[in-house]
Amino acid sequence: MTTTEFQVTGMTCSHCEQAVSGEVSQIAGVDHVEVSAATGRLVITSSEAVADEQVLAAVDEAGYTAVRG
């Protein structure tokens, strides 16, 4: 298992969390996603390595920006 953390900007509510979680959860290999609008924290647990670019693209698709934290 691999755990990766990102910092997401622009989230303000639970709807934001759901949007990010929904997009990131679709990435192959992602097993679990934790998102907090309060801290801007996105933590991904995966069974295999997931490219940062895939996560950043998924967060962008949800309407937010992220950096690896």
Measured CA distances, 39 to 1, 29, 50 (Å)? 24, 25, 22
Q: What is the CATH number of domain 2-46+57-68?
A: 3.30.70.100
Tokens of 68: 């690896």
CA trace torsion 19, 23, 25, 27 (10° rounding) = -170
Q: How is the chain split into domains, by residue range?
A: 2-46+57-68
CA–CA gap between residue 10 and residue 28 (Å, rounded)? 25
pLDDT above 90: residue 64: yes
Residue 69: predicted pLDDT: 85
Name residues whose C-beta falls within 8 Å of residue 62's C-beta, 6 or more positions apart in sequence: 16, 19, 20, 22, 23, 24
Mean pLDDT (whole number) for 4-23:
97
Mean per-residue pLDDT of the chain: 96
Average pLDDT over residues 27-52: 96
